[in-house]
Amino acid sequence: MKKVILIFGVLSLLVFIRPVFGMNASSANVQTTTTVAQMEDETSESFFAEAVNGIKQFYSFTGFANAQSGNILMIFIGIVFIYLGIKFDYEPLLLIPIGTGVILGNIPFVAGYQTGIYETGSVLNYLYFGVVKGVYPPLIFLGIGAMTDFSSLIANPKLMLLGAAAQIGVFGTFLGALYLGFSLPEAGAIGIIGGADGPTAIFLSSKLANGINILPDGTTVKNLIGPIAIAAYSYMALVPVIQPPIMKLLTTKKERLIRMKPPRAVTQKEKMIFPVVALLLTTFISPSALPLLGMLFFGNLLKESGRTERLADTARTKLIDIVTILLGVTVGASTQADIFITKDSLMIFGLGAISFVIATMGGLLFAKFMNLFLKGEDKLNPLIGAAGVSAVPDSARVVHAEGIKADPHNYLLMHAMAPNVAGVIGSAIAAGIILSFLG
């Protein structure tokens, strides 16, 4: 250790002594060549003035000089996201990367040095490629497929209809966006927020509202990926806040007390057949949703086949984690203030909130409607309709919590998972339909 200090000391002494012996000729040359442009006309100025100039130039490159109120506002929002994620545990795996991304994307910088996410060639721009081209969402779906247990859905297939009913949120929002003056593809991308499915929303908006496509009237569509993704993810995180009041409003105390019979045991054979058959049926109906549904059921087959546990394990842990990190940060960073803070974003946020409300109401009311035809033990607890908005598994958890509040011994989680995963399938099909109509 002493030797190291000794050597370091000698070296640093040499470095400092060099100018004294006139050995700095080479380094001085380098300095003059680099700053020759500025030095030429002000060689006579004093050392002090030059230093001040340098500091001024440096200052013009810092964030302090370039900051605009929009940047500060977005950075504040990013910090709020991180706070919400940590303090209230609202989807921290999403909100913390997105919050950090929002801060990253809004650090003020001088344009033209390949720094920002929208500048071609910057590192963030390369990572953002996966969002713009819709690469990340299918990979996330692969992981979701490898995580999801469809057995409660196989045991009670009629719950699949609740997942379809909640998609009314998608189409309702789509119509609302049209009335607010968005063009058709933009409205389609905004509508999918009602699917309560982050990856699907990013996938569809990257195809429809990416700022590249040309509309029939000759104008290009707006780039709405950032606002849509942020709206979808933040409302997904806020499901525990949005849904309970609507659930209480639309169900009576008696309905909330309904106990459903436990789902039957599902054989492994059925679980293996499910992904294959569901893949065939859904993609034949809606081929545009192929990247999403294909990966979802592929992941599920990896899980259920019993032979590819290694692949399933990677898909549901490491792979989905990696993609979530990249997706979260880049989606967050895409909210660069000059592009994000517009009237459109505000309207998208408003529409997003409405879409969640419509979707929840659609699910609840359809469950009540189904109850008209069901008798005795088969009756559904209408609360599980609210789980039809996908937001896996948060909305199922909210349903469970509400059920527990009404009757401490009524465990709805297993039942709520069925419309929940059906909602994922439903919103992917809906995305495919919108894409085939408007793509």
Partner 1 sequence: MTHIFLMTDTITEGYIILITGLSIVFSGLLLLTLFFKFAMPVMLYVYKIITKGPDKKIKEISPKVNDQFTGEIAAAISAAIHMYLNSQHDHENAILTIKQARKMYSPWSSKIYSAYRNRL
- Single out the segment in contact with partner 1 by CB under 8 A; choices: 175-183, 239-247, 256-264, 348-356: 175-183
Among 161, 341, 359, 396, binds partner 1 (CB under 8 A): 161
Per DSSP, the residues of 116-156 read STTSTT-HHHHHHHHHHTT-HHHHHHHHHHHH---HHHHHS
Residues with Cβ within 8 Å of residue 145, at least 6 apart in sequence: 275, 295, 296, 297, 298, 299, 300, 301, 302, 303, 315
Q: Tell me the C-alpha distance between 383 and 257, whole Å.
A: 10
- Single out the segment in contact with partner 1 by CB under 8 A; choices: 102-110, 167-175, 248-256, 322-330: 167-175
Instruction: Decide: 327 and 140 in contact? Cβ < 8 Å.
Output: yes
What minimum distance in Å lies between the beta carbon of 243 and partner 1?
A: 21
What minimum distance in Å lies between the beta carbon of 115 and partner 1?
A: 37
355 contacts partner 1 (rule: CB under 8 A): no
426 contacts partner 1 (rule: CB under 8 A): yes
What minimum distance in Å lies between the beta carbon of 164 and partner 1?
A: 4
Q: Which is nearer to partner 1, 230 or 435 (CB)?
A: 435
DSSP 8-state secondary structure symbol assigned to residue 409: T
Among 87, 253, 254, 269, binds partner 1 (CB under 8 A): 269
What minimum distance in Å lies between the beta carbon of 264 and partner 1?
A: 12
Q: Which is nearer to partner 1, 1 or 25 (CB)?
A: 1
| φ/ψ (deg, to 5) at 322 | -60, -50
Residues with Cβ within 8 Å of residue 62, at least 6 apart in sequence: none
- Single out the segment in contact with partner 1 by CB under 8 A; choices: 32-40, 101-109, 249-257, 281-289: 281-289
261 contacts partner 1 (rule: CB under 8 A): no
State the CB neighbour count (10 A cutoff) for residue 67: 15
DSSP 8-state secondary structure symbol assigned to residue 89: -
What radius of gyration, in Å, describes the C-alpha atoms of the chain? 28
Among 3, 307, 310, 409, binds partner 1 (CB under 8 A): 3
What minimum distance in Å lies between the beta carbon of 420 and partner 1?
A: 13
Among 67, 178, 347, 353, binds partner 1 (CB under 8 A): 178
Among 22, 216, 376, 408, binds partner 1 (CB under 8 A): 216
Q: Which is nearer to partner 1, 271 or 316 (CB)?
A: 271
Instruction: Decide: 276 and 301 in contact? Cβ < 8 Å.
Output: yes
| φ/ψ (deg, to 5) at 223 | -85, 105
- Single out the segment in contact with partner 1 by CB under 8 A; choices: 241-249, 276-284, 324-332, 401-409: 276-284
273 contacts partner 1 (rule: CB under 8 A): yes
Q: Tell me the C-alpha distance between 200 and 299, whole Å.
A: 16
What minimum distance in Å lies between the beta carbon of 421 and partner 1?
A: 11
Helix, strand, or coil here: 223? strand
Q: Tell me the C-alpha distance between 87 and 77, whole Å.
A: 15
Instruction: Decide: 302 and 325 in contact? Cβ < 8 Å.
Output: no
Angstrom distances, CA of residue 136 to CA of 44, 222, 312, 337, 365 = 58, 21, 17, 24, 34
187 contacts partner 1 (rule: CB under 8 A): yes
285 contacts partner 1 (rule: CB under 8 A): yes
386 contacts partner 1 (rule: CB under 8 A): no
Instruction: Decide: 426 and 164 in contact? Cβ < 8 Å.
Output: yes
Angstrom distances, CA of residue 149 to CA of 153, 302, 373 = 9, 12, 28
- Single out the segment in contact with partner 1 by CB under 8 A; choices: 119-127, 176-184, 254-262, 375-383: 176-184
Among 98, 278, 295, 413, binds partner 1 (CB under 8 A): 278
Angstrom distances, CA of residue 76 to CA of 40, 61, 327 = 44, 22, 21
203 contacts partner 1 (rule: CB under 8 A): no
Among 19, 157, 211, 262, binds partner 1 (CB under 8 A): 157
337 contacts partner 1 (rule: CB under 8 A): no
- HSE of 312 in the Cβ direction (CA atoms, 13 Å)? 19
Q: Taking the chain, what is the end-to-end CA distance rounded to the nearest angstrom?
A: 67
Among 277, 322, 346, 374, binds partner 1 (CB under 8 A): 277
264 contacts partner 1 (rule: CB under 8 A): no
438 contacts partner 1 (rule: CB under 8 A): yes
Q: How open is the CA angle 312-317-320, to the nearest 5 degrees? A: 95
168 contacts partner 1 (rule: CB under 8 A): yes
Q: Which residues bind partner 1 (CB under 8 A)?
A: 1, 3-4, 153-154, 157-158, 160-161, 163-165, 167-168, 170-172, 174-175, 178-179, 183-184, 187-188, 216, 267, 269-270, 273-274, 277-278, 281-282, 285-286, 422, 425-426, 429-430, 433-434, 436-439
